A = this chain, B = another copy of it.
């Protein structure tokens, strides 16, 4: 029994009365371009962290910017009372890069609001959900829900959280917690909430091949000069079958742990639809897969992907050269059982066998994560989303990766619940990223309900 039972009328008024507050806070955060992958934005990261501290302080929390060997971590706390259970809410306030030429608005770091929709880089990943959780925590603190609520806002999530382990091993040891709430995941569709209990890991690799020092004339040298783009294309197409997605690197699938039958059943009950998946991501066509195969692929199978390639002339028209250099950016999504370092090693070994001149540099290793989808915290999440959105969540895995989740589980060794608010059409990592008041308002209500529920767990 909660000492001060949740009053839905009061909560609804809070949500309605604080819409402008939420929007202005989100606008302020979005307009600081906290792009962690680009060193040119280092001062924006600091500005973003300072602003985050200010927002938490304004909301009535104690806040602090904690230095790490990389970007800072902002921590905060509402009503510290050691007799109460503690929940730590994790979000990240760094964002993906954004190419203005790809955005319809052309201004990814200018906040747009229109008919309850919020546009701008970071609106849905992950500033919007982070501020939604903060609004709920503020309500909980102001209305006597007996819970310590802490915030951990990271600024390196989009680059694989390289300094987060250091933060946990340092300042984090003085911050024990009974559970962790992470809000950085995506629903199946609007009206179909999801609570993922697993994440794929990640391993990047840069492949480079230099066969000369400068571009040379394709008439004068063509036939005798090597072509690094052609050779790179061969390497890629021997590493995987792009049409099916199947990797051809020996040993690639050896360590893959298959999901249990109960999980597969839960995946299939999730309401995933290939048609709405295709529409939400604006894809022209998909690989040939059934719905059943597709969810297994997305949530429990590794991938081999080329996320960028360059070489030679890219301007208008023709330039009759043989290029000197080609570069391919590889990323592999990993599933439970797979070891990132081993995957780089398998890739390097195979690439060297195909073409010894290709240099393979591993980057951003991250293991997959697998948690639980039963127990009192899962029950609390189910009740919370039903309360906030009128629909129970599907317990699924998620195809993406959040490095901090693994680290927090290891260091704090406590239940961890991922209750995200993003929708597929919000454009995670895409041009025209957006978030909306429907998800924010329902999210505030869900989180308050969740806090009420977990305050009862002893």
Contacts and interface: CB of A to CB of B under 8 A. Distances in A.
Interface of A: 37-39, 96-97, 102, 159-160, 186, 200, 202, 204, 210-227, 229-234, 236-238, 240-243, 245, 274, 277, 281-287, 289, 294, 297-298, 301, 303, 305-323, 326, 328-329, 331, 333, 355, 357, 363-364, 398-401, 424, 427-432
Given A298-B224, A323-B308, A231 B245 contact: no
Contact of A211 (B283, B309, B315, B428): B283
B284 A307 contact: no
Contact of A282 (B214, B218, B364): B214
Nearest to A402: B219
B399 A219 contact: yes
A284 B210 contact: yes
A165 to B, nearest CB: 19
A214 B432 contact: yes
A309 B311 contact: yes
A286 B318 contact: no
Given A213-B284, A399-B219, A96 B312 contact: no
Given A237-B237, A318-B307, A281 B225 contact: yes
Chain A contact residues, majority secondary structure:
mixed
A396 to B, nearest CB: 12
10 contacts: A37-B319, A219-B401, A220-B428, A222-B399, A224-B297, A226-B243, A229-B328, A307-B320, A313-B329, A320-B331
Copies of this chain in the oligomer: 2
A217 B319 CA distance: 33
Contacts of A215: 102, 429-431
A240 to B, nearest CB: 6
Given A211-B283, A221-B399, A284-B210, A242 B237 contact: no
Given A233-B232, A277-B224, A431-B214, A329 B318 contact: yes
Nearest to A357: B285
Contacts of A306: 227, 229-230, 233, 311-312, 323
A427 B398 CA distance: 52
A223 B316 contact: no
Contacts of A326: 309
Contact of A230 (B216, B219, B240, B286): B240
Ordered nearest first, which 7 A-B pairs have the shortest CB separation?
A: A219-B400, A230-B242, A223-B297, A308-B312, A233-B236, A308-B313, A233-B233
Nearest to A221: B281
Nearest to A429: B217
A223 B301 contact: yes
Contact of A216 (B240, B283, B319): B283
Nearest to A218: B305
Given A306-B227, A430-B215, A430-B217, A38 B424 contact: no
Contacts of A317: 37-38, 159, 363
A37 to B, nearest CB: 4
Contacts of A234: 233, 236-237, 241-243
B97 A315 contact: yes
A162 to B, nearest CB: 11
Contacts of A186: 220
Contacts of A214: 102, 282, 427, 430-432
A321 B303 CA distance: 12
